[in-house]
């Protein structure tokens, strides 16, 4: 539990102190525009702030990153002093409290000597109405048409965006869903984003498509079936990878794929190996030799198509090229679907027992597929008054970030800064400490954010140098919890 003050001494704070005088037994929380009035022993609407002894109190502890687990020593009640070097401790915005709107300095502006360099880290929790999630789902299954609505609890919270190699992509949240629709839509969006950002599983439905359960770093569940494999490649790429392993064991191989179906003997790989043309033409639009588009509709069947019988994609068999006894393998891009056929005297494919060499080759496809996972990335614009918590001239902070002089982290995790104007960043929630995110009923997400730069640069951008406090003092006052980042990554 961390006790926080609303800001520096001044008229606003004096007015707040008058409202919060003990006789009233009620405190006003100014951490967001809701302005909750909190009775003794209670918390506000977000459950992040409470009334403890007639003082506005941040209920979650301030969180510090440490370099290794055995250094987590300062969270206990018996801790007498800071046992760690400053380079081994990094202050995060988790539990730091919020300053919104930022007419006052950030809750913590921390100074530390790191390897002989005076550094400053501005620590806050940002309230983000302009935020969302980009969700990457490793699957060949058709989740829904591009731009289709994605819903949680029946409310639209986002849409399907462009598919990438072996993955379906969702864009969730954003200011239009959080604030531009109905109150119910905004609440549903906020609840789903918060759950996903904090690592929980969320059930989504896609208009004209599938139901999918999404959870960061967990396998997607599509229409009740857990996904196991991410495709090794498209149908054409799969042929390019494994053509040499099929040579001498199969006369034709067709790799069924919703996007690019591959036909071995027409493909450049088959020609390079000197394979005899088999004369089996598949449906769809032919691209370059051995590559076919639109062989079937998207679906949950073979290779992300809607077919259950792979022979359905064969358009014709050329009697001038094919021959009785021709050995045909049909396989999906993950190897989860495979069938072996031999052409009879009428050149009709007949099911046959799969030879051991082909069984091994199909297994090799599966071996080369990575595990199917969901990746959840938080994206937000750190603009507006958030920057005023760091400097009196906010554009200078933006310029420092864009030039690389100031580094942005979120809960200590490294972020990607989008080029162009503003401070728009992207971070994998799995790289952040557990339960890094909160929410306020405006609705908006609350996320930790830290700006780190040399002390001289901080002074140069108009920073609140008189509010810089030594790291050791903050550790002693707040008695924070210590955590390590997933994977042992440390921001220094």
DSSP assignments along 169-187, one per residue? EEEEE-HHHHHSS-HHHHH
- Arithmetic mean of pLDDT over the chain: 89
Q: Residue 322 CA to chain centroid, in angstroms?
A: 49
Q: Which residue has the higher pLDDT, 384 or 362?
A: 362
Instruction: Determine the pLDDT at residue 472.
Output: 83
**Tell me: the pLDDT tens digits for 129-186?**
999 999 999 998 899 999 999 999 999 999 999 999 889 999 999 999 999 999 999 9
- Domain identity same for 136 and 126: no
- Domain identity same for 360 and 403: no
* 235-246 and 356-367 helices, crossing angle to 10°: 140
Residue 419 CB burial class (10 angstroms; 0-12, 13-18, ≥19): exposed
- Domain identity same for 239 and 351: yes
Please state the φ and ψ torsions of residue 339, each to the nearest 5 degrees: -145, 145
- Domain identity same for 126 and 138: no
Tell me the pTM. Answer: 0.86
Do residues 48 and 62 touch, judged by C-beta distance below 8 A?
Answer: no
Domain total of the chain: 4
- DSSP-derived secondary structure letter, 284: S
Distances (CA, A) of 238 to 232, 244, 288, 339, 364: 7, 11, 15, 16, 11
Q: Looking at the domain assignment, is residue 372 inside a domain?
A: no
| E strand intervals along 251-337 | 252-256, 261-263, 280-282, 285-286, 291-293, 314-317, 327-332
**245: pLDDT strictly greater than 50:** yes
- Domain identity same for 139 and 123: no
99-106 average pLDDT score? 72
Q: Looking at the domain assignment, is residue 310 inside a domain?
A: yes
- Domain identity same for 95 and 173: no
Domain around 7? 2-58
- Which residues lie closer than 8 Å to 403 by C-beta, 6 or more apart? none
- Domain identity same for 248 and 347: yes
Do residues 111 and 455 touch, judged by C-beta distance below 8 A?
Answer: yes
From 230, 264, 283, the end of a domain falls on 230
Structure tokens at 381: 């614009």
Return d(Cα 448, Cα 410) in angstroms, integer.
5
Instruction: Determine the pLDDT at residue 73.
Output: 57
- Domain identity same for 392 and 425: yes
- Domain identity same for 399 and 480: yes
Instruction: Determine the pLDDT at residue 207.
Output: 98
Sign, Cα dihedral of 370, 220, 46, 189: positive
- Domain identity same for 113 and 139: no
Q: Looking at the domain assignment, is residue 200 inside a domain?
A: yes
- Domain identity same for 267 and 325: yes
Q: Looking at the domain assignment, is residue 300 inside a domain?
A: yes
- Domain identity same for 178 and 118: no
From 337, 367, 397, the end of a domain falls on 367
């Amino acid at each position: 539990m961390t006790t926080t003050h609303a800001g520096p001494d001044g008229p606003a704070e004096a007015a707040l102190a008058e409202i919060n005088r003990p006789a009233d037994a009620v405190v006003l929380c100014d951490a967001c525009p809701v302005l909750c009035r909190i009775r003794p022993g209670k918390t506000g609407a977000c459950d992040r702030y409470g009334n403890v002894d007639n003082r506005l109190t941040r209920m979650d502890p301030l969180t510090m990153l440490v370099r290794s687990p055995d250094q987590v020593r300062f969270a206990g009640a018996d801790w007498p002093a800071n046992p760690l070097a400053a380079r081994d401790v990094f202050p995060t915005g988790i539990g730091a409290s919020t300053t919104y709107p930022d007419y006052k300095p950030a809750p913590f502006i921390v100074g530390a000597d790191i390897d002989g360099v005076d550094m400053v880290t501005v620590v806050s929790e940002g309230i983000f109405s302009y935020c969302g999630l980009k969700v990457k789902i490793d699957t060949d299954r058709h989740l829904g048409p591009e731009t289709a609505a994605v819903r949680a609890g029946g409310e639209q919270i986002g849409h399907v965006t462009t598919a990438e190699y072996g993955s379906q992509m969702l864009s969730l949240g954003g200011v239009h869903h959080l604030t531009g629709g109905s109150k119910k839509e905004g609440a549903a969006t906020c609840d789903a984003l918060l759950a996903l950002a904090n690592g929980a599983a969320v059930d989504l439905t896609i208009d004209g498509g599938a139901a999918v359960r999404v959870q960061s770093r967990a396998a997607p569940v599509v229409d009740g079936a857990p996904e196991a494999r991410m495709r090794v490649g498209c149908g054409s790429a799969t042929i390019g990878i494994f053509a040499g392993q099929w040579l001498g064991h199969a006369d034709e191989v067709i790799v069924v794929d919703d996007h690019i179906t591959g036909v071995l003997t027409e493909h450049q790989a088959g020609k390079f190996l000197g394979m005899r043309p088999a004369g089996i033409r598949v449906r769809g639009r032919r691209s370059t030799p051995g590559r076919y588009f639109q062989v079937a509709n998207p679906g949950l069947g073979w290779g992300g198509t809607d077919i259950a019988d792979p022979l359905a994609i064969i358009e014709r068999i050329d009697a001038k090229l094919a021959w009785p006894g021709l050995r045909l393998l049909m396989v999906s891009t993950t190897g989860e679907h495979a069938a072996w056929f031999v052409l009879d005297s009428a050149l009709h494919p007949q099911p046959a027992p799969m030879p051991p060499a082909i069984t091994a080759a199909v297994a090799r496809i599966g071996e080369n597929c990575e595990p199917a996972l969901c990746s959840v990335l938080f994206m937000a614009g750190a603009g507006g008054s958030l920057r005023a918590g760091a400097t009196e001239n906010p554009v200078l902070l933006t310029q420092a970030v864009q030039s690389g002089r100031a580094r942005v982290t979120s809960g200590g995790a490294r972020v990607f800064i989008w080029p162009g104007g503003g401070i728009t960043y992207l971070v994998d929630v799995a790289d952040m400490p557990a339960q890094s995110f909160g929410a306020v009923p405006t609705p908006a997400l609350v996320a930790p954010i830290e700006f780190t730069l040399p002390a001289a640069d901080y002074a140069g951008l108009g920073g609140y140098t008189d509010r810089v406090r030594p790291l050791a003092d903050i550790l002693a006052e707040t008695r924070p919890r210590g955590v390590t980042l997933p994977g042992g990554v440390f921001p220094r």
